[in-house]
Amino acid sequence: FVYSLGGSILAGRDAQSLKEYAQALKELAKEHQIYVVVGGGRIAREYIEKARALGASEMFCDTIGIGATKLNSALLVAALGASAPQEIPDTYAQAARLAQPGKIVVMGGVAVGQTTDAVAALLAEYVHADKIIVATSVDGVYTADPEKDPTAKRLTRMTHQALARLAMETEMKAGSRSPVDPLAAKIIER
């Protein structure tokens, strides 16, 4: 399984709740090879916003976001302890090499212009994962951003094609919020 774990899931959590989350992943790892791609979350968005205000390019903002994903990945590795390799992979091949029964491979972003959802989709394709699970602080996929649009409706089911269409409406810039980004949606669709 490949989990795309929104950084907002980790950000602001206390050590005990991180341990509980790690324990749930350890239980899954008893029966499945688990990979987790961790997002940058609130920390990434804060730093990206400040960098933009200082005149940084989108590419530079992406680099800041990748750094935040690495910090969040390291935090999850700390929570997993001996159940995770103590190395944060920079490539899909490195992630695959680190995989061992019962071990949870944790990584962050790898390339500018890609969200961690795209990294998770590419990793899932690379390792021939059976499932991709996108875990965020939002309880589902909506017709619009529910924080901005009170008429947004939660979708209970959707096809790969519908997800790709919805994702194409998303503005692509560092720190964007959407169900998945357009690249991830197209990779999932294929």
Residue 146 is which amino acid? Answer: P
pLDDT in tens, 34-61: 999 999 988 999 999 999 999 999 999 9
122-150 burial: b if 16+ Cβ within 10 Å, else e: bbbeebebeebebebebeebbeeeeeeee
Q: What is the pLDDT of residue 152?
A: 84
Residue ranges of the chain whose pLDDT lies below 70: 11-12, 137, 167, 169-179
pLDDT in tens, 128-156: 999 998 887 677 777 777 878 889 888 88
Distance in angstroms (rounded) separating the CA atoms of residues 167 and 180 = 6
SS3 label, residue 93: helix
Distance in angstroms (rounded) separating the CA atoms of residues 53 and 155 = 35
Strand order through the sheet with 34-38: 104-107, 34-38, 2-5, 132-135
Q: What is the pLDDT of residue 187?
A: 85
**Considering the chain, what is the average pLDDT of its residues?**
87
Q: What is the pLDDT of residue 111?
A: 92
Q: Which two tokens stand for residue 33?
A: 């090879």
Q: What is the pLDDT of residue 35?
A: 98
Q: What is the pLDDT of residue 86?
A: 94
